[in-house]
Amino acid sequence: MPQAVAALHTALAQRELRVFRPPVRVSGAARYALSADGRTMAVADQGTATLWRIPSGTAPVATITGVGGPVHALALSADGSLLAAGDARTTRVWEAATGRQAGAVASGAEWLGFGPGGHLLGAVTPAGRARVWRPAGGAALPLDVPEALGVEFAPDGRRLAVPVSAGRYELWDRRHRLAAAPGQAPALSRDALAVSSGGAVHVISAATARLSGDATARAGAGHRPHERPEVAGAPARGRPRPRVQPGRPAARHLRRRPPRPLGPRPRRPPPHLAAPASPGRPRLRPG
């Protein structure tokens, strides 16, 4: 996906300050999760989840057993206080500090993500449907979107954006679908939604689901900073567009001068011979 490639390029361009490597060996089936504040990392492997402090931790801060397996999806809340793990049949939520199970949902998950405050848990089920649960009670919100790729929460948790396959997205509140339109990589703020579509970033009002702005910076335009990008329909550089006067055919203004004939140019007669004579005097002819 172009968004994934752009994210990798952005990550590679960042300055690397420190590298954290868990001092334990994990299998190829291990799953990882990082809290939104970047301070806690979780590793789930072979039925056990281990939490580490980033980047200085040399010993795990918590170990949770009975996670199940193999784990397909793993997520941490923004502050790292809750851990969610989903396999093919069940999704469970634990308190990271105590290891106590805080809730469970009788549905597997291929993708997981907490909402703000950890009160909501978004998931993509093995059937590819987006659902949102309350981790404490397991109750589901009415949101149910097929062919989903993830769930994006607004900072206040009142609205959600669901990217779906075929380059589309859906905007929801907690009970109803507000909009569905083409667009990729949706990002929600409290009042607006930004999506990528047609090489441009569109800003949509989250309250009215209408376009409120357009960032026309095109991804991969390929022009240098000091160059002006070409605009569709504009004349080529160095060749001004011919001006057409109203009421006159455009073809006349688009005509080019005929080419000059080859060979020497004809010699003009001397001025005293070619000048017109005054009235009443005969013209002088050459020769």
What pLDDT does residue 82 have? Answer: 93
Residue with tokens 């929801």: 172
pLDDT tier at 281 (50, 70, 90 boundaries)?
A: low
What pLDDT does residue 173 have? Answer: 87
What pLDDT does residue 184 have? Answer: 85
What tens digit of pLDDT does each residue of 85-104 get? Answer: 999 999 999 998 888 998 88
Where along the chain do its domains lie?
A: 17-141, 149-221
17-141 and 149-221 in the same fold: no
Structure tokens at 76: 């941490």
Question: CA torsion angle for 62, 106, 180, 35 (degrees, to 10)?
Answer: 0
Measuring CA to CA, which residue among 134, 127, 94, 98 is closest to residue 111? 127
Average pLDDT, the chain: 76
67 burial level (CB within 10 Å; 0-12, 13-18, 19+): buried
Class in CATH terms, 149-221: mainly beta
| CB half-sphere exposure, 122, CA atoms < 13 A | 24
Residue with tokens 């005969």: 282
Class in CATH terms, 17-141: mainly beta
Return the bridge partners of 159, or none: 173
118 contacts: CB under 8 Å, gap ≥ 6: 77, 78, 79, 81, 82, 135
pLDDT tier at 255 (50, 70, 90 boundaries)?
A: low
pLDDT at 84 over 50: yes
Backbone angles phi, psi at 30, to 5 degrees: -65, 150
Backbone angles phi, psi at 18, to 5 degrees: -155, 150
pLDDT tier at 233 (50, 70, 90 boundaries)?
A: very low
Does the model's pTM come out above 0.85? no
Is 94 or 25 the better-scoring residue by pLDDT?
A: 94
What pLDDT does residue 283 have? Answer: 56
pLDDT at 13 over 90: no
The rounded Cα 106 to chain-centroid distance in angstroms is 33
